Amino acid sequence: MTDPAGVLDATVREQWGRLTSLLLGHYRRLDLVEDALGDAVEAAARHWPARGVPDNPAAWLLTTARRRLVDQLRAESMARRKGVLLVTDAERRQESGRVMADPGGVVDDDLLRLVMMCAHPALSREAASALALRLVVGVSTHDIARLFLVPETTMAARLTRAKKKVVTAGIPFAVPSVEDLPDRLDAVAQTAYLAFTAGYAPGSGPDLLRAELAGSAISLVRVTLAQRPDEPVLLALLALMLFQHSRRDARLSEAGELVLLADQDRTRWHHDEIAEARSQLDHSSLLRPMTATAAGYVLQARIAAEHALAPSAAETAWPRIVASYDLLLQVTSSPATRLARAVAVSEAEGAEAGLAALEGISLPGSHRLPAVRAELLTRSGDGDGARSAYDEAIALCRNDAERAYLVGRRDRTAG
Amino acid sequence: MKRYVFLIAYEPGGFEQAAAEVQQSYFTAHEAFSTYVAEHGNELSSAALADTDTATTVRHLDGAKSVTDGPFVETVEMIGGYYDVELPDMDHAIAAAAILPPAYAVEIRPTITITA
């Protein structure tokens, strides 16, 4: 592999978080490190094609970024420097001399420190997600903005605010205490899952790239899992994400319309990812006691596994899915989960049972509840009831593609 | 060390109306808080504040001094006290705040240094 651009891309993809954490651990300047590393990547793009790819591309980037940082620090007064230093743990400070060795043999704890800082519970989950994708996975601000469907300037401001809070509030570049670790790992998982689901939230049009960007949330989990290999919450979340992500190519038709799970071409699913998700879900650590967040991901992953492993939509084991939803409701009772359970009940036991399961669910402002009711009323032969439920859903739906789908369903519903 | 001010919000009258053993648990919690802060940093100052019906707010309106009865913002919860402490980082600040009585909401505000 001597293609300079390819090597640079791969190095950035695989080493960004590690390089960022090394530089942050040493210089403790959240406001300078990211730019310095960005400058180093730009310099590599300029120099490597002419001078050849260095033997150790990551070390080249590290050295170049360090030079930029040192130049900037020299240009500043000490007085200014003091206020903006990142807080690190005492242990880390003592070893700060030796971690600047080549990035192949670093103290990996720095990477875990970086993840824990980005996903800190004192940050909003939106801010934490964006910060983790930027600093740990190296996703550009442009792409993070696209993932979360906000203008790039909005995302840039969100990242700046998050970094300011980290420094001002003293959110530490540190691994939490043992008793806090389970909660903090839950926070990392929730941060990653928010970024992942953002990639699958309906946008204004077909956007395959957003699904690919959701994959960067999987990278965030993999990076953290490499540091803490047996954590149930990370194993369960990785399985859940892989099952869902494996279907990305089958989700959209050639015309760019959403294809429902039952109608997807299962040969277009990524079966290697499904196999990996299965083995994660079978991990012995998932038999240990775990947090409610982890248990919730395990049950959701089991439900996703039923879909992923069914030979066809008709052969889906709906009663087992209903059983998993029943357990999930014991862990986390949300109206959205109850709605999903009602859909599973209708598949397992028929439309009437599904309609009965809808009783008492309240999702104000959402089109999903009336849309499901309309579908079940159609199946149970109540055309008038179905059309009025479709009208209700259409009035509430804010996404063009989904609304067009609902209008089509209503117009085809016989009286 | 970072310096933080902990603003404690709680419902007015909550402490006075509590049973004796609950009141004792408040004292115990505050002592445990002070012990934790002493172990990990410094307690610079603290105070319990009288109810907001004794508050007076001074503002300048159109260039003239205006003195009014009451707090600057009317809320259900009120600031019932504060701690001004030094602690190593936010993780320690959160751990310390969690020691205080569970009836409190504790707002952690980092302080900043304003230089001319």
Give A104's pLDDT tier (boundaries 50, 70, 90): very low
Which of A218-227, A254-263, A270-279 is predicted least confidently?
A: A254-263
**Which residues in chain A have Cβ-Cβ distances shorter than 8 Å to B90?**
87, 120, 122, 169-172
Q: Which of A121, A172, A180 sits opposite B89 (nearest CB)?
A: A172
pLDDT (average), residues A259-281 = 94
Q: Which of B2, B95, B112 sits opposite A87 (nearest CB)?
A: B2
**Which residues in chain A have Cβ-Cβ distances shorter than 8 Å to B86?**
none
pLDDT at residue A117 is higher than 70:
yes
Q: Which of A83, A90, A172 sits opposite B90 (nearest CB)?
A: A172
Q: Do B89 and A170 touch (CB under 8 A)?
A: yes
Per-residue model confidence as pLDDT tens digits over A186-214 = 999 999 999 999 988 766 555 667 888 89
Identify the pLDDT of residue A346. 96
Give A253's pLDDT tier (boundaries 50, 70, 90): confident
pLDDT at residue A107 is higher than 80:
no
The torsion angles phi and psi of B3, rounded to 5 degrees, stand at -105, 130
Per-residue model confidence as pLDDT tens digits over B1-28 = 999 999 999 887 778 888 999 999 999 9
Name residue A314's amino acid.
A
Identify the pLDDT of residue A189. 97
Identify the pLDDT of residue B13. 78
Q: Which has more pLDDT, A97 or A109?
A: A109
**Which residues in chain A have Cβ-Cβ distances shorter than 8 Å to B87?**
170
Q: Do B90 and A180 touch (CB under 8 A)?
A: no
> Distances in Å between the alpha carbon of A200 and those of A90, A214, A258, A332, B106?
41, 7, 11, 22, 36
Burial (CB count within 10 angstroms: exposed 0-12, middle 13-18, buried 19+), residue B83: buried
Map A102-134 to HEC letters: CHHHCCCHHHHHHHHHHCCCCCCHHHHHHHHHH
pLDDT at residue A376 is higher than 70:
yes
* DSSP bridge pairs for B5: B84, B109
Identify the pLDDT of residue A96. 47
Query: What CATH number does domain B2-110 carry, 2.20.70.10, 3.90.1150.10, 3.30.70.1060, 3.90.45.10?
Result: 3.30.70.1060
**Which residues in chain A have Cβ-Cβ distances shorter than 8 Å to B88?**
87, 89-90, 170, 172
Cα(B100)–Cα(A55) distance, integer angstroms: 56
The mean pLDDT value of chain A amounts to: 90
Identify the pLDDT of residue A101. 42
Identify the pLDDT of residue A205. 55
Per-residue model confidence as pLDDT tens digits over A48-76 = 999 999 999 999 999 999 999 999 888 88
Instruction: Please say whether the beta carbons of A98 and A119 come within 8 A.
Output: no
pLDDT (average), residues A41-49 = 95
Task: Establish, for the pair of chains A and B, how many residue pairs have beta carbons separated by less than 8 Å.
Answer: 42
What stretch of H or E contains A174? Answer: none
pLDDT at residue A276 is higher than 90:
yes
**Which residues in chain B have Cβ-Cβ distances shorter than 8 Å to A174?**
89, 91
Q: Do B112 and A174 touch (CB under 8 A)?
A: no
Q: Which of A83, A87, A180 sits opposite B89 (nearest CB)?
A: A87
Q: Do A170 and B115 touch (CB under 8 A)?
A: no
Identify the pLDDT of residue A206. 54
Q: Do A170 and B95 touch (CB under 8 A)?
A: no
Preferred mutation among A85, A117, A171 to probe B, highest tally of B CBs within 10 A: A171
Residue of B nearest to A176 (CA): B91
Q: Do B91 and A83 touch (CB under 8 A)?
A: no
Identify the pLDDT of residue A242. 97
Give B87's pLDDT tier (boundaries 50, 70, 90): very high
pLDDT at residue A92 is higher than 90:
no
Per-residue model confidence as pLDDT tens digits over A323-366 = 999 999 999 888 999 999 999 999 999 999 999 999 999 998 88
pLDDT at residue A239 is higher than 60:
yes
Q: Would the CA dihedral through A312, A315, A317, A319 be positive or negative? A: positive
B14 CA: distance to closest CA in chain A (Å): 27
Which residues make Cβ contacts (< 8 Å) with residue A87, sequence separation at least 6? A28, A170, A171, A172, A173, A174, B2, B88, B89, B90
Q: Which has more pLDDT, A219 or A106?
A: A219
ipTM over 0.95: no
**Which residues in chain B have Cβ-Cβ distances shorter than 8 Å to A89?**
88-89
